[in-house]
Amino acid sequence: YECFRIITELANTNFVKKLQLADNTVFRFAARQEIAKRLTALEKTEPEKIEKLDVLAKDYIRLLKKTNLQNWVFEQSPFKTESIILEGLLLFLTFPFFVYGFICNFLPFFVPVYIRKFVMKAQYEGFFSSLQFGIGIFLFPFFYLMQTILFYNLTGTHWWLSLLFFIMQYPFGKWAVKWNGIAKKFMAKIRFIRLKHKKSFELIQVQNIREQIIRMIS
């Protein structure tokens, strides 16, 4: 199962192009289905090939962890220097908005996680998101209201500014999550560029394994 999961993800973009499909969610899913069908057929006709693919898939994941990279980096590379500089500049300029959103949403974001882990002690991973979502439905409005009251009492500002503060906590929280995701991808691109510049042996291994797996299932 893990072998199939890794390979369908690894070869997804390649198969979208090979099947001449539009690059969207529906057709990417169709490409993953096609990869899974090929792997299932190989499992029946060439089991030794599947065993080799299983070893390669495990090596691929091990090297990804070692290089601290993700599959999408190899799909989107090479990265243009101008784009990297512009992306870094935009992240720097919008960092204050991230800080504001993070501070305002720190408690509603992480208290549900704390309750799930240490109070309710849920063990089943498939239940984590649902449980945290259920807790968050009550805690987000509660914390937003308490923080607004605290803001009003500490600043003594006009009521309409406190109302604006209350309203803006949620969209800035969403912004903080999005900014964090973009920043992580930016740092991954920087790591990839550094490893490529240093001609990292692990990076070369990852790229070779990717190409080998794709050739074996094409």
Q: What is the 3-state secondary structure (H, E, C) of 95-112?
A: HHHHHHHHHHHHHHHHHH
- Report the greatest alpha carbon distance in the chain: 75
Q: Tens digit of pLDDT for each residue in 177-194?
A: 999 999 999 999 999 999
- pTM of model > 0.95: no
Q: What pLDDT does residue 96 have?
A: 94
Q: What angle is formed at CA 187 by the lines to CA 58 and CA 214, rounded to 5 degrees? A: 35
Task: State how far the Cα of 211 lies from the Cα of 184, in Å rounded to an integer.
Answer: 25
Closest CA to 187 of 69, 60, 90: 69
Q: Tens digit of pLDDT for each residue in 109-167?
A: 888 777 777 777 766 666 667 777 778 888 889 999 999 999 989 888 888 888 999 99
Q: What pLDDT does residue 125 have?
A: 66
Tell me if 205 sits within 8 A of 63, measured CB to CB.
yes
Q: What pLDDT does residue 123 have?
A: 66
Task: State how far the Cα of 32 lies from the Cα of 39, in Å rounded to an integer.
Answer: 11
Q: What pLDDT does residue 180 have?
A: 95
Distances in whole angstroms, Cα of residue 184 to Cα of each of 10, 40, 127, 137, 190: 20, 35, 26, 27, 10
